[in-house]
Structure 1
Amino acid sequence: TLLGLGALLLTASGPAPDDVLSVPEALTVSGATAALIGVLSWPGARPGLRHATASGVASGVASALTQTVTVAVTDRSGPLLSVQVIGVAVLVAAFATGGLLLSQTAYRGGLGAPLAVVTLANPVAAAVIGLSLLGERLRGGAGGALLALTGAVLAAWGVVQLSRAAPAPVRHEPAAPVLADPEPDSEPEASPPAGLVPRQPGPGHLTPL
């Protein structure tokens, strides 16, 4: 999984983009991401992997929107606190918080596959936004695209292997049987108080029953 992710990041890395998301584009991306998160969070099988995917997508979108806020703030030609900057900053906070909460929910069943899915989905979601809306390009041309595809397949194979791995069963030694003390046939005779000795019957006399 890590090798595949490294190949993806190698081909997607490049110079810092100057393009930013417009308000309609940011709202469109946010709406599509919210819908995808809602579908992945729906009750069903493998909730850990689905919540991990939703967490990675939310964090990746937050990263892409953060890039938009950073470029807009550092651009001295426009106002520092414009409607675009404030609106996108609110979306960044919402998706970052949602991604954190979803990751904690995904880790309830273990860290193996959910952690790999979160680590993989985060940069992939950010790269998709960068390639489709921010004018970024894969490095290396056709060779870079082939390397990115190979990395994606390798990372997906790693996630599948992690999801199939099961922890070793814990062996419990049988507990030794506890033998209950047998019940006494009769109650023990009470000892006489200190200093008192029972009177012995004389010859020819019977003690009372």
Structure 2
Amino acid sequence: MTLLSYGMWLGITFGVLSCVSYTAAAVAQRRLAVRMTEPLTGRRQLGSLLRHPLWWVSLVFNGGRAGFQVAAVSFAPLTVIQPLGVLVLIFGIPWSARLAHRKVSRAEWHGAAYTMLALGVLLAVTVTGDQGGVLSAEDSVLVGVGAVVLLAAIAGIAGRVPSASWRSYLLAAAAGIAFGVAAATVKTAVWAFGDGLLAGLTHPSALATAVIAVFGLFLAQAAYQGMDLGAPLGVTTLANPVAAALVGVVFMGETYAGGWLGGAVALLCGLVAAYGIRLLTVPANGVAESAVQTQEPEPRA
């Protein structure tokens, strides 16, 4: 048995810090969502959102998350860093409950356990092999445009869904897809910058990354309305690696490390995670969702 190297421990440390930053951003977005009186799938609230300090606080933490993530994968492989993503549920659920002056329910703990177990195994079997490259300029345009169209369609459908729970599921899934696709385009953008600043700035992947990442931030913000933190955070964390893996396999020549058996395990994990997310939704359906619909909005910070 060999001890982990110094670089590996440094990568794990940065990975944990990335999770903490992501959790802080999600908690800030959830608190902001409670203070917005109308669904963010409409246009009326956009101006209020951009003027609120909590929105900019969440952007700072999201920026920190991205920076720590880049540092983490510089020292440790994805097979080590990706599974750390489940820590956001461990950090986020009790953090959000404490700020709401309530205890984490038994259903939430069970839901978090099922979701974290499923996500941990899912990330392990969906890590792609070492082969593969980056997106071509044509594929970057195709992936970028396709992702924006898909995300806009999901947001439009979510805006017409009367159920706060299902609206949150759809928006959180769209946010996860956005973050997963952005992970693929940013990898290509970093490669393009290796040929010079002008080559990087003019490569379609750079524009695609910026547009999709910003889209994802707004979708994640909208997903927290009418729901507690756990369910939308779990959906986003589930959709993210799946979307990234699909782009990698279809467009970047990557393959699933687990083969057909890994695919079957991934499907089973998806079902278990869905059950865990449903458990995380129970408090929101029973208490939080109705509270959001009936209570007066909190005063602005």
Verify: 1:134 aligned to 2:252, yes or no: yes
What residue identity is the alignment partner of 2:188? Answer: T
Q: AA paired with 1:163?
A: T
Contact kept, 8 Å, 1:20 with 1:72, in 2: the verdict is no
What's 1:107 paired with? Answer: 224
Look at both structures and tell me which one has the larger radius of gyration over its CA atoms: 1
Separation in 2, partners of 1:37, 1:142? 29
Within 5 Å, which residues of 2 pair with 1:14-163? 14-42=128-156, 43-45=159-161, 46-74=166-194, 78-79=195-196, 81-82=198-199, 86-110=203-227, 111-163=229-281
Provide the identity percentage: 36
Count of equivalent residues: 167
Distance 1:38 1:159 in 2: 24
Match of 1:8 among 118, 122, 125: 122
TM-superposition CA deviations, 1:59-109 (whole Å, max 9, x none): 1111110111223334xxx55532686321121111111111111111122
Moved more, 100-109 or 82-91: 82-91
* Bigger relative contact order, structure 1 or 2 (CA pairs below 8 A, ≥6 apart): 1
Distance 2:128 2:273 in 1: 21
Q: Which runs of 5+ in 2 are unaligned?
A: 1-114, 291-301
- CA spacing shift, 1:90–1:59, aligned 2, 3 Å: same
> 1:204 aligns to what?
none
- In 2, distance between residues paired with 1:39 and 1:163? 24
Q: Per-residue deviation at 1:120?
A: 0.9
**Cα displacement string for residues 147-183 of structure 1 (whole angstroms, at most 9, x for unaligned residues):** 222212212222233334434489xxxxxxxxxxxxx
Is the CA contact 1:69–1:85 (under 8 Å) kept in the aligned structure 2? no
5+ unaligned residues in a row in structure 1: which ranges? 171-209
Structure ranking higher in helix proportion: 2
d(CA) in 2 for partners of 1:149, 1:12: 11
Query: Is the CA contact (8 Å cut-off) linking 1:66 and 1:92 kept in structure 2?
Result: yes
Per the TM alignment, residue 127 of structure 1 is displaced from its structure 2 partner at its CA by 0.8
Shift of 1:18: 4.4
CA distance in 2, matches of 1:81, 1:18: 25
Give the TM-score normalised by the residue count of structure 1: 0.70
Q: Hey, what's the Cα distance between the residues in 2 that align with 1:59 and 1:3? A: 21
- State the Cα distance separating 1:55 from its structure 2 match: 1.0
